[in-house]
Amino acid sequence: MTSDRVLASELSTRVGHDVTIAGWLHRKRQLKAVTFLIVRDATGLAQVVLSGPAAPSAAELTEETPLSVTGTVAASARAPGGAEIVQPVITALSEPAEPPPFDLYRPVVTASLPTVLDHAPTSLRHPRLRAGFAISAASVAGFRAALDAAGFTEIHTPKIVGSATESGANVFGLDYFGRPAFLAQSPQFYKQAMVGVFERVYETGPVFRAEPHDTARHLAQYVSLDAELGFISGQQDVMAVLRQALAGMVAAVARRAGPEADLLGVRLPEVPAEIPQIHFAQAQDLIAREAGWDPRGEPDLSPADERFLGDWALREHGSEFCFVTGYPMAKRPFYTQHDPGRPGYSVSFDLLFRGLELVTGGQRLHRHRDYLAALAARGEDPADYASYLEMFRHGMPPHGGFAIGLERWTARLTGALNIRAVTLFPRDLHRLAP
């Protein structure tokens, strides 16, 4: 089958030929003298026209039954793609399918999100639900291609760790051969270590947060697109790599998931050569001056602040992306570089995309003595970090990095209101299956 099979997207190039297609029976419409079958495969829809008797009888062909169809391709203005199959011989490839939990052939998804998620293995066959995951796959491929071209090496780090070091909260505990262990909340420590080995590294893998919040943007597992690079002269080098990665992601969506982006009405952003930047303190000043509220004194940006800055970047700079730099140290992890010229502020950034935080990054400490001082300042015992701290004793260069949340990116790109709609089999406070 595989070798001779023609895909739905290729049908219009085979007019006049005998071909075999395969897929799921997406829709059956029985009129008086004729039956139309729409067959769905990975590339789209193909129309099959039956007039008169066909075997197996069309009555047995229930929607979602996998089948193959051999017949002659005829041009047809009414058919998807401009061609259809006539005089078909139909072979069912499995037993007749039971009706799916909701109609997969309707252009719009008629089920609620919980129903979609409860039946995800079937639901995701719907072209609109499937599309987000084609966009995700393309985005990850674009991320890797951009970083490969910039001399990065891919790594695969442990997801089971011995201590909940990065942040004691929101961590999943595990029984590891009778010892306590934890699921990694990020590959942070490992990607820093691998800067010592490859200088520039990335990882595209799962991270885990025991998020007690039941919101539209929190997940217990998500895909983190992580990068870290050494021998930087400052965080601008990190931000420049992030810009390359984003440009690669956008280009890959256009190239590899164009039809899916079109189906969802996705408007791809332009990634400007220079993404506008604003310092955290200046951003708060700007908001206090121009918005209807005064955020000064707050250690972080609120969602309203982020929306305001997203609008500001678009209005003033024509950019849907915006860097906010210099977040207060109070809200950044202990390994973040302090800004020597601005006490209390860090050398770190968030990237806002369409008014929402998409990426967090920054420059890290690289001197062993700075780590000891940072831990002491937070009242933490360096012994708890012994395995992490060792690399800094043996010479680490100035370095930094960032992490992009894949599902957050896809959600923002597709306009999904709930991140679960673009998460493959999401895990949250309530959901552990399918």
Binding to a second copy, residues 197-256 (CB under 8 A)? 197-200, 205-206, 208, 210, 212, 220-221, 223, 230-233, 237
Place of tokens 């849907």: 320
> Which span (123-131, 262-270, 317-325, 356-364) binds a second copy, by CB under 8 A?
123-131
Tokens of residue 296, six digits = 């000064």
| C-alpha distance from residue 370 to each of 333, 336, 365 (Å) | 13, 10, 7
- In the bound complex, what is the minimum distance in angstroms from residue 207's beta carbon to a second copy? 10
- In total, the chain counts a number of residues equal to 434
Q: Is 366 in the site for a second copy (CB under 8 A)?
A: yes
By rule CB under 8 A, what count of residues binds a second copy?
Answer: 100
| C-alpha distance from residue 14 to each of 8, 37, 51, 250 (Å) | 11, 19, 21, 33
Those residues whose C-beta lies under 8 Å from the C-beta of residue 201, and which sit 6 or more positions away, are: 152, 153, 154, 155, 191, 194, 195, 227, 228, 229
Nearer to a second copy, 86 or 424 (CB): 424
User: Contacting a second copy (CB under 8 A), which of 106, 156, 255, 296?
Assistant: 156
> What binding mask, one character per residue, do residues 290-329 give for a second copy by CB under 8 A, x or -?
----------------------------------------
> DSSP 3-state assignment of 430?
coil
Q: Is 64 in the site for a second copy (CB under 8 A)?
A: yes
User: Contacting a second copy (CB under 8 A), which of 128, 172, 251, 373?
Assistant: 172
DSSP code of 269? P
Nearer to a second copy, 197 or 330 (CB): 197
Q: Is 340 in the site for a second copy (CB under 8 A)?
A: no
Tokens of residue 134, six digits = 């084609």
- In the bound complex, what is the minimum distance in angstroms from residue 72's beta carbon to a second copy? 21
Cβ count within 10 A of residue 354:
18
Q: Is 342 in the site for a second copy (CB under 8 A)?
A: no
DSSP code of 346? B
Nearer to a second copy, 296 or 393 (CB): 393
- In the bound complex, what is the minimum distance in angstroms from residue 161's beta carbon to a second copy? 7
> Which span (47-55, 271-279, 305-313, 361-369) binds a second copy, by CB under 8 A?
361-369
> Dihedral of the CA atoms 175, 165, 196, 357 (nearest 10)?
110
Question: CB of 280 within 8 A of CB of 324?
Answer: yes
> Which span (127-135, 306-314, 372-380, 413-421) binds a second copy, by CB under 8 A?
127-135
- C-alpha span between 308 and 351 (Å, rounded): 14
Bridge partners of residue 236, in order along the sequence:
none
Those residues whose C-beta lies under 8 Å from the C-beta of residue 341, and which sit 6 or more positions away, are: none
DSSP code of 432? -
Backbone angles phi, psi at 222, to 5 degrees: -145, 170
Nearer to a second copy, 67 or 351 (CB): 67
Nearest CA to 271 among 322, 305, 221? Answer: 322
> What binding mask, one character per residue, do residues 382-401 give for a second copy by CB under 8 A, x or -?
-----xx-xx-xxxxxx---
Q: Is 273 in the site for a second copy (CB under 8 A)?
A: no
Cβ count within 10 A of residue 108:
7
Q: Is 352 in the site for a second copy (CB under 8 A)?
A: no
Q: Is 406 in the site for a second copy (CB under 8 A)?
A: yes
Nearer to a second copy, 21 or 278 (CB): 21
| C-alpha distance from residue 279 to each of 271, 283, 323 (Å) | 20, 6, 8
Q: Is 95 in the site for a second copy (CB under 8 A)?
A: yes
Q: Is 78 in the site for a second copy (CB under 8 A)?
A: no
User: Contacting a second copy (CB under 8 A), which of 56, 82, 114, 158?
Assistant: 158
Nearest CA to 432 among 102, 205, 210? Answer: 210
> DSSP 3-state assignment of 27?
strand
Q: Is 427 in the site for a second copy (CB under 8 A)?
A: yes
Q: Is 114 in the site for a second copy (CB under 8 A)?
A: no
User: Contacting a second copy (CB under 8 A), which of 153, 167, 215, 282?
Assistant: 153
Site for a second copy in 17-56 (CB under 8 A): 22-25, 41-42
> Which span (82-90, 106-114, 325-333, 363-371) binds a second copy, by CB under 8 A?
363-371
